[in-house]
Amino acid sequence: MQKTLTHEGPLIAIMMNENIAKCLSDPHRLKILDFLYHKSLSTRELFELLKKAKFDIAMTTLRHHISMLKKNDLISIKRTKQVKGTLEKYYKSNVKILAYENYPFLTFAKDNKELVRSLYPKFYKMLKKLLLNEKELVSIIFSDIYSRCKICKSYHYAEYLFLMFVNMVLAKIVRKLLKSILPATH
């Protein structure tokens, strides 16, 4: 009997900036992130997997993509290993990219508008209670009081931090719920 592969690392939202948007604009880098989310791999292993996935890429180009992903903290070195006098690096993804080809998101959002509308008050009450009761969370979220937007006077950085916390907690909850609801694959 084979166990289902589950990733135990944190799932985090990526708040876009120009560099990360540029980095993620390349399909090779998205595929690399997807491979590295499931398993730590060396450059050579990534090269072979990309070839199997019909990505025509040169090793020098792959090294460039890895460099860009590392520079933007989207991947990191998990371990190193000596192979024939050369240091081989194994990379891992620091994020999970939720991107699916041909996924009809607009249709999905439109078809589930009523469900979203009905869940909104429940989530609002729950998150408001959380913010009122979790003083440490509130102090972290509003730690940089000077991050107020000069245009709209909102606290975008506070929104970002709160979304990061909620995303990490919800990802853990969803993973656990799906594990208990969905049948295990054999």
Query: What is the structure's pLDDT at 186?
Result: 45
The residue assigned the tokens 């980095």 is 23
Is 85 in the same domain as 111?
no
Cβ-defined contacts of 133-139 (< 8 Å, 24+): 137/165
- 85 domain residue, yes or no: yes
Look at residue 85 in the predicted model and tell me its pLDDT. Answer: 86
Q: CATH number, domain at 32?
A: 1.10.10.10
Structural domain harbouring 42: 18-93
Structure confidence at residue 4 (pLDDT): 37
pTM to 2 decimal places: 0.60
Q: Is residue 71 in a domain?
A: yes
| Six token digits for residue 14 | 């990526």
What is the tally of structural domains in the chain? 2
Contact 73, 23 (CB under 8 A): no
Tens digits of pLDDT across the chain (186 residues): 333 344 445 445 456 678 888 888 888 998 999 899 889 999 999 999 999 999 989 999 999 999 999 999 899 999 998 888 888 999 999 887 665 566 666 677 778 888 888 988 998 998 888 888 888 877 877 776 666 777 777 777 777 777 777 877 888 888 888 888 887 654
> Considering 36, 58, 93, which residue would you say is the last residue of a domain?
93
